[in-house]
Structure 1
Amino acid sequence: MTAWHLAEDDLRAYARGELDPPRLWSADTHLTACAPCRSRLADAVDPVALDLAWERLDAELDAPRPGAVERLLTRTGVADHTARLLTATPVLRRSWLLAVVSVLVMTVLVVHLVSGPALFLALAPLLPLAGVAVSYGPTLDPSYEMAVVAPVHGFRLLMIRTVAVLTAGLVFNGLATLALPGYGLLALAWLLPALALTATGLALAPRLGPVLAPVLVGAAWVAVLLVAHTQPSTGLAPFSATGQSVTACVAVLSALLLYRGRDRFDARPVGGFPDTGAL
């Protein structure tokens, strides 16, 4: 049993968080052993202030902890909300990156076994297209609602995530290209098609939607490759000098169309894109 109890003024100061050491330390020690003083403390605490304190504690406990990449971005000057939206990009997560690496490794192995770069050149441009497709839009992006209410223009967010996805995808594709040294510059012929497919998919997304547009672009790419394959006289048409020139023109044209339609990405914040009936 304690031989003394906290003074009323000290008890109220303790409840308000205004009691200074060393009396604070003495009060902490005393309250752990004195039930009457704990009861007086409960009566001295403002119920409204106590509820607010619990709400602040709950919010702090529920607040997401920034990861290493997000902390690095904020330290380099990127705004907090931009860093959060960027690191929330689905295809920058470990599962997607591991899947991309696995696909490229298997493709390189098949190329070495079959002795032909056609499969790698056909697949490599589709990976950035798919990655960008799932990085924006209400259908596939789990953080889309957060992106809508964030103080970021929809087109700016799209470009931020596109650059991030393209950087990751092109790095992995480039590493896979190093595993095909026997094909020379032909092993790099996927780069322009990758940029052209990605830009075309983004340019068509405001009209066709974030899912249908990349699907149609990918299907068109496969169709072009099948036609080129059925006509041996044309060789690997998209990867020839003429094909690369055409691909570069498509990439530039699509980029211009994308920039002209940049405001369409904010046309319907909830649905994400205008109705296709507006065509």
Structure 2
Amino acid sequence: MTWHLPDDDLRAYVAGRLAPPLLWSADEHLKACGHCRAVLAQQTDPAVLEAGWARISDEMDAPRPGITESLLLKVRVPEHTARLLAATPVLRRSWLLAVVTVLVLSIAVGRTATPLLLLATAPLLPLAGVTLSFGPGLDPTYEMAVVAPLHTFRLLMLRALAVLATTVPLALVGSLAMPSFATVAAGWLLPALALTALGLSLMPWLGPVGAPALVGTCWMAALGFNYLVAQHMFFPFTAAGRAGGAVAALAAVALLVAVRNRFENGRHLDTSFRFAARRLT
């Protein structure tokens, strides 16, 4: 080394008074400079020195937050909440790429033939995302999420908002390519909110897979019936359909709020983690 830490800095380092950025510089220098480490060892109690090296080791080995987590931390989202949100499976590139692909195909078919495919996919994408974002066997961070110091309902809402924040803007941008953008966007956006809220409301009884599956099946059956009765006049695109979608969305949200306390005892929780979740919330 061509230079060494001044004695004043070493004494401040030992006493814990050395502040960043000098502290960071000292940490890096001590890792490479045997002379300064020897001087530091002479001035420091062995137990204190060992604790300091353990701290440096922990900082070096600590996982670095990803892009999503870093952005959430910058907008002052609490660290534990940012970690749970960043771990949401649907925020991965593979999911986003799949959503974009489905929307592009739906819009391409909708422009050349019928918007039935768009109605069958866009409203169900948020619901599918929520299904993949919460529940044993679906979420790779499920165990960590269940024992986190959060009410299960709040955790589910955080994950649902993360899903909506990614899928809805993508679908809205895609809808710009459709004729009568306002009508088309309202035709799938309101049902999407209603289906997502209804699927979440049924999770305490049917689980994270059964509830979305039932809601999605009913939606597809309703679209099929609509297509058989009036092939070119889809109810969600009409004025009555948009009004009905708004009412359905409000009713589904009200139902979700009404059943929020049932999420602590629902089937979506594994028995092995239920007790821990109750103790920590």
TM-score (norm 2): 0.74
CA positional deviation for 1:45? 9.1
Q: Please state how far the C-alpha of 1:100 moved relative to its aligned partner.
A: 0.6
| Cα separation, 2, equivalents of 1:184 and 1:241 | 12
The aligned counterpart of 1:125 is: 123
Deviations 1:255-274 (A, max 9, x none): 11211111222226951799
The Cα shift of 1:246 comes to 2.8
Distance 1:58 1:141 in 2: 30
Aligned to 2:172: 174
Q: How many residues align?
A: 250
- Judged with a 3 Å threshold, the aligned counterparts in structure 2 of structure 1 residues 92 and 185 are, in CA distance, closer, same or farther, namely same
Shift of 1:215: 0.8
The aligned counterpart of 1:209 is 207
Q: CA deviation at 1:173?
A: 0.6
Does structure 2 conserve the Cα–Cα contact (< 8 Å) formed by 1:117 and 1:187? no
What SS is found at the alignment partner of 2:133? coil
Q: Give % identity.
A: 49
Which residue pairs with 1:5 in the alignment? none
1:64 and 2:70 correspond: no
Q: Deviations over 1:95-121 (max 9, x none)?
A: 1111111111122222233x3222112
Q: 1:197 Cα shift? A: 0.6
Q: One-letter code of the match for 1:74?
A: L
Q: How does 1:3-18 map to 2 (within 5 A)?
A: none
Distance of 1:67 and 1:222 partners within structure 2: 37
The residue that corresponds to 1:158 in the other structure is 156
User: CA, structure 1 residues 184+199, in 2 after alignment: closer, same or farther (shift >3 Å)?
Assistant: closer
Q: TM-score if structure 1 supplies the norm length?
A: 0.75
Residue 56 of structure 1 deviates from its aligned partner by 4.8
Q: Letter of the aligned partner of 2:193 in structure 1?
A: L
Distance 1:94 1:232 in 2: 38
Match of 2:277 in 1: none
Shift of 1:234: 9.0
1:8 corresponding residue in structure 2: none
8 Å Cα contact 2:129-2:163 kept in structure 1: yes
Who is 2:261 aligned against? 263
Structure-1 residue corresponding to 2:92:
93
Give me the whole-angstrom Cα distance separating, in 1, the residues matched to 2:101 and 2:34: 58
Using the alignment, how far apart are the partners of 2:247 and 2:180 within structure 1?
28
After TM superposition, give the deviation of residue 62 of structure 1 in Å.
Answer: 4.1
> Using a 3 Å threshold, how does the CA distance of structure 1 residues 265 and 63 change in structure 2: closer, same or farther?
farther
Report the CA distance between 1:148 and its aligned residue. 1.9
| Preserved CA contact (<8 Å) 2:69 2:82 | yes
- Larger RCO (CA under 8 A, 6+ residues apart): 2
Which residue of the partner structure matches residue 146 of structure 1? Answer: 144
Counterpart of 1:103? 102
Once residues 246 and 108 of structure 1 are traced to their aligned partners in structure 2, the CA distance between those partners, rounded to angstroms, is 24
Which secondary structure state, in structure 2, belongs to the residue aligned with residue 98 of structure 1?
helix
- 1:5-30 superposed Cα distances (whole Å, 9 cap, x missing partner): xxxxxxxx99x968xxxxx9xxx8xx
**Structure 1 position 174, deviation (Å):** 0.4
Contact persistence 1:177–1:188 (CA under 8 A): no
Shift in alpha-carbon separation, 1:32–1:254, aligned structure 2, 3 A: closer
- The CA distance in 2 between the partners of 1:95 and 1:52, in whole Å, is 42
Alignment of 1:229-268 (within 5 A): 229-232=227-230, 235-267=233-265
Whichever residue aligns with residue 271 of structure 1, its letter is D
One-letter amino acid of the counterpart of residue 92, structure 1: L
Q: CA RMSD in A?
A: 3.7
Residue deviations 1:33-62 (CA, integer Å, cap 9, x gap) = 9xxxx9xx8xx996x878766765564344
Q: What is aligned with 2:73?
A: 74
Structure with greater Cα Rg: 1
Letter in 2 for 1:98: L
